[in-house]
Amino acid sequence: MRPAARIASAIDILARLEAEDRPADGLIRGVFRANRYIGAKDRRAIGDLVYGVLRHSARLDWWLSRAQVGAGGARGRVLAELTLAQGLGGAEIASLFDGDTYHPPPLESAERALLEQLDGAELDHTEQPDWVRLEVPEWLLPGLREALGDDQEILALGHTAPLDLRVNLLKAERAAVRQALAEEGIESAPTPFSPWGLRVTARHALPALKAFRDGLFEVQDEGSQLVALLSDARPGLSVADLCAGAGGKALALAMTQGGEGRLVALDLDARRLERAGPRLARAGVDFVETRVLVDGDPWLDQEAGSFDRVLVDAPCSGSGAWRRQPDARWRLTAARLEQYTQSQAEILRIAAGLLRPGGRLIYATCSLLPPENRDQATTFLTERPDYRALPLGDLWREQLETPYPGDECPALLLTPLRHGTDGFYLAVFQRKVGP
């Protein structure tokens, strides 16, 4: 595809995103599946422009409102123009918007005037309110500042996320997998905290690699790896992954158990859980039980008090993963956040019933918002005096040689700026033995 045709395709995707309440990543994948002729480089260029718009949409919209352009369904087109203007001059952009076949129509006078106004200028402006400058919904800004304390932390949620891999130690050591990747032309480096992780320095079609097909690694953010590691799912223990989804953390737990003990992967969504099967097979894991939970499932009563570890990677706002899904911040509403917090509280109650005395409940979210994290932990401990919070610093030092990166409060909050991971909250509660 010519560069102008790539821009036209990106503008079409932006128009669909504005018309449909759908996550951008799913919509983009659907467009590419329906248009197999779009090559890998074209897909990358189209995706870069779309995500460039999404990462800067608050500031871009602010400029549009000042210039009073982008009405009548043309918003996505002008946002794309302004995003291109961060690297191209107005004349270059005008040459791409030439109206040729499969190219965007020529620029209108108002669009030219706005591009001239932004020529060489940053998207930031002294008149922008803080929520616009920080690219977060205004109603969420107080909570993010409370949790993170630093606007630079909030700005980091708009950066591009790295690509992390978790080495499957059931099949190979990290150094060997790094070498296998290098032989296939993939450069990587060890992750700074997780002893299982490799950070890839560029994007690649990983499923096409022999190392992937052989089950030597899985794609998994370092923060997720640390959640699994700090769950301390040792060989011989009985472990439940209560919100297993497609099995990412269950795979890591299976690795730490070494095939010894019991591991049950549970989820309400049968389709997501089905995707765990091929991943488990590729990793060489054959001892994991999977179960789709239903309302009032008798299994929960039958298994009450029988587990040593229960991992709750709770459904949440996903605010810690906004680097990967920048549009998600604008689709989150107060009503949806309330639904998440209610669901989290209910899942914690279910998880608490599954543990035997002395067992541990691991509560994690990929959120940075206090109602989903600190407030849930406080409420849980109030409602369940038979549980206590374990200091994460002590658990970290038992499992890892790297210095503990948090403070000494019971919970750990990982952030993109401080730790280079997705945003994660982790708390571990232990069921007391005796009164």
Sign of CA dihedral 277, 320, 202, 167: negative
For residue 280, give both structure tokens: 């488990």
- Report the phi/psi class of residue 120: left, alpha or beta, with left for phi > 0 and alpha for psi in -120 to 50: left
This model's pTM is above 0.85: yes
CB atoms within 10 A of CB 298: 8
pLDDT for res 76: 86
Q: CA-to-CA distance for 95 and 100, rounded, in angstroms?
A: 10
What integer pLDDT is reported at residue 35 of this predicted model? 87
For residue 212, the model assigns a pLDDT of 95
C-alpha dist (Å) from residue 363 to 15, 110, 242, 420, 426: 38, 52, 10, 21, 6
Could you tell me the maximum CA-CA distance found in the chain, to the nearest angstrom?
Answer: 78
| pLDDT of amino acid 72 | 53
Handedness of CA 18, 5, 77, 43 (dihedral sign): positive
CA distance 373 to 358: 23
Strand, helix or coil at 1?
Answer: coil
Q: CB 185: neighbour CB atoms within 10 A?
A: 9
Number of helical H runs and strand E runs in the chain? 22, 12
* DSSP H or E segment with residue 46: helix 40-55
Residues (pLDDT < 50) of the chain are: none
- Cα–Cα distance measured from residue 337 to residue 229, given in angstroms and rounded to the nearest whole number: 28
Which amino acid appears at position 318 of this protein? G
Cβ-based neighbours of 113, under 8 Å, separated by 6 or more: 67
127 vs 124, 136, 139, 158, CA distance in Å?
Answer: 9, 16, 19, 20
What does the block give as tokens for 103? 């190219």
Q: Where are the alpha helices (DSSP H) in 324-415?
A: 328-331, 334-354, 374-383, 392-399
> Residue 337 carries which DSSP code?
H
The two three-digit tokens of residue 307, written as one number? 């587990």
What pLDDT, on the 0 to 100 scale, is given for residue 115?
Answer: 84
Interval 46-64: pLDDT, tens = 999 999 999 999 999 998 8
In this structure, which amino acid lies at residue 207?
P
d(CA 360, CA 404): 20
**Amino acid (1-letter code) at residue 164:** D
Active site residues: 366
Cα–Cα distance for residue pair 414/226, rounded to 1 Å: 10
CA distance 18 to 20: 6
* Residues whose CB is less than 8 angstroms from the CB of residue 255 and which lie 6 or more positions away in sequence, other chains included: 168, 169, 170, 196, 283, 285
Scanning 56-192, the segments in alpha helix (DSSP H) are: 57-67, 75-84, 90-96, 109-118, 130-134, 141-148, 151-156, 174-183
Q: Which two tokens stand for residue 434?
A: 């005796």
Alpha-carbon span 176 to 174, nearest angstrom? 5
- Strands 288-292 and 262-267, bridge-based pairing: parallel
